[in-house]
Amino acid sequence: MADLRVMLVDDHAVLRAGLQLLIDGQPDMCVVAEAGTMADAVERAGAHAPDVIVMDLSLAEGDGIAATAQILQRHPDIRVVGLTRHADRGYLRRMLSMGARGYVLKQTAAEALISAIRTVAAGGMYLDPSFAAAAQPGETPAGGSPRPPAPPDSALTALELAVLQGVARSHTNQEIAEQLGLAAALVADQKASAMHKLGLHTRIDVLRYATAQGWPRSGT
C-alpha cells in the first residue's frame, strides 16, 4: 500500500519535529508538509494534497477549527484529525461539525494519533479514548482493526515525546519550555514521565536511546 501522506499543523516547531519523527517512523505513512499558521495551513493543504491533516486547534496566528472548515470546503477529500490539549466536549463537537474525522488529545499516548491517522484515512472516525468511552450519537469511535507493532516511544504522549527529544538535543528544561510554550515545571514533569515509561534513568540513557532511534541531535 502506498504511504499515507500526512500534513502537520501546529505553531510549535519542536512539537512538529517530534510528530514528524513518529509518523515517518511508521511503515505506511510519511509527512509531506507542515504549517505553523492558519494561512500557511490552508495554502499548503492545496499545494501538497495530503491524505490526512493533523490539526492543532489553538494556533498563534489563526484558529485550527476555522482552518479545518476552510480546507475541507476547498478540498473535501482530505481527512482532518484534531490534535489538542482541549478535553472539553465543546471543542470536540465544533471540530466534528466542521468536518474533522478524528480528535486526539496531546495528553494521550502517541500511538493513539497513529491509529487515528490510519482510521480516518480508511474512511472511519477516531475519537480519543477518553471520549470514545462515552461516545454520543454522531461521535462514533474507531474499531479495533489490526495494526503494525508499535515502536517503544509510541507509549509516550506527544508532549512527552517532544520534551524527550529536546533533552536529546542537549536543551535545558527552560529552553524546552520556551520552545513549547510551557512552564518549566511542566517540562520537568513530562521529562520524568517519559523517562519512567522508557526505563531511562539519566541524561546519558536518553542520549543512547535517541541514537538508537535515529533522532536528530544538537545542531540539527
**Phi, psi dihedrals of residue 147, rounded to the nearest 5°:** -145, 160
Indicate the CATH number for domain 152-213. 1.10.10.10
Instruction: Work out whether strand 126-127 and strand 29-35 pair parallel, antiparallel, or are unpaired.
Output: unpaired
The 3-state DSSP class for residue 216 equals coil
What does the pLDDT read at residue 146? 37
What does the pLDDT read at residue 115? 92
Contacts of 219 (CB under 8 A, 6+ apart): none
- pTM here is 0.69
Q: In angstroms, rounded to a whole number, what is the distance separating the alpha carbons of residues 147 and 130?
A: 20
- Please tell me what DSSP assigns to residue 140: P
What does the pLDDT read at residue 220? 42
Residue with grid cell 503494525, as numbered in its chain: 148
Contacts of 42 (CB under 8 A, 6+ apart): 67, 70, 71, 74
Tens-digit pLDDT profile for the chain (220 aa)?
A: 468 999 999 998 888 988 998 899 899 999 999 999 999 999 999 999 999 999 998 887 888 988 999 999 899 999 999 998 888 888 888 888 888 999 999 888 788 899 999 999 999 989 888 875 544 444 444 543 334 444 555 677 777 888 888 888 888 999 888 887 778 888 898 889 888 888 888 888 888 888 877 776 654 4
What does the pLDDT read at residue 217? 62
Q: Report the phi/psi class of residue 143: left, alpha or beta, with left for phi > 0 and alpha for psi in -120 to 50.
A: beta
What does the pLDDT read at residue 152? 55
Tell me the domain boundaries of the chain.
4-132, 152-213
- Please tell me the class of the 4-132 domain: alpha beta
What does the pLDDT read at residue 142? 53
Residue with grid cell 473535501, as numbered in its chain: 76
